Amino acid sequence: MKLIYIVEDHQVIREGVRRYLEMSGYSALGFGTLSTAEQAISVRKPDLIIQDVMLPDGDGFEFIEKLRKNMDVAVIFMTAKIAEDDRIHGLELGADDYICKPFSPKELVLRVQALFRRMDAAGAKSATSSTVILRAGDGVMEFNEGTHLLKVNGEDVGLTAAEWRILVYFLNNISKILSRSDILRECFDYESESYDRIADTHIKNLRAKLGPFPWIETVRGYGYRFIGYITTD
């Protein structure tokens, strides 16, 4: 049974979401502050965090950004901050989805179900993965989707969940030009062009982590292309 933590200071909303998730077959626990949520996470990592942004003891965006430095966990932001910049900021932090208040509990559950389907499908696909070696210029990459191994020139590289999904998508489409819309649709289930900035930000961060090697090429007017190549050396 999937375990979900709901971090929301409004008791009626928190308990309503918790009960609806439990009726849908999930195990759910609610927390009214970031400190109690942090304590629970340190004891047991959940499969998903549904995170409010404005909490009495801090900012949900900052909380997730800090958390993501130490662990990979799925996140859906649930907040009344509906401005486009707020939505984009949450998604740039690597959130898997963003739902604005007020919302339908049914819609939230459908988004949770869709997220877990993507995660389970990715897990099933990666279970049989083997390590591949890729080169670009003087860069050598070791990659294994199944074990979540990523090294560049012998150094371990840590990626956010969003960056990892984008890299996997590139490696499944080596040498193909991928538009920002392609990346958003396949990696995040977003169709709107208003989220193009998210793709650019994630790829900028991904390039920085992969080092000064020409792994990802910008194709002006079209999108991006992974130009590293698989080698048996």
Sign of the C-alpha dihedral computed for residues 175, 222, 121 and 159 taken in this order: positive
CATH number at residue 7: 3.40.50.2300
Q: Where are the beta strands (DSSP E) in the chain?
A: 3-7, 27-31, 48-51, 54-55, 58-59, 74-79, 97-100, 132-136, 139-144, 149-152, 155-156, 177-178, 216-219, 223-226, 229-231
> Same domain, yes or no, for 23 and 57?
yes
Domain endpoint, select from 125, 160, 189 = 125
| Residues 171 and 202 reside in one and the same domain | yes
Same domain, 113 and 198: no
Do residue 145 and residue 40 come from a single domain? no
- Higher pLDDT residue, 229 or 161? 229
CATH of the domain at 167: 1.10.10.10
At residue 152, the pLDDT reads: 96
Q: What is the pLDDT of residues 150-200, one digit of tens each?
A: 999 999 998 877 788 899 999 999 999 999 989 988 887 766 555 677 788
What pLDDT was estimated at residue 15? 93
The total domain count for the chain is 2
pLDDT in tens, 137-149: 999 999 998 888 8
Q: Beta-carbon neighbour count of residue 156 at 10 Å?
A: 9
- Domain holding 166, by residue range, is 132-231
For the cut 80, the answer to whether the pLDDT of residue 85 exceeds it is no
Cα-only R_g, the chain: 19
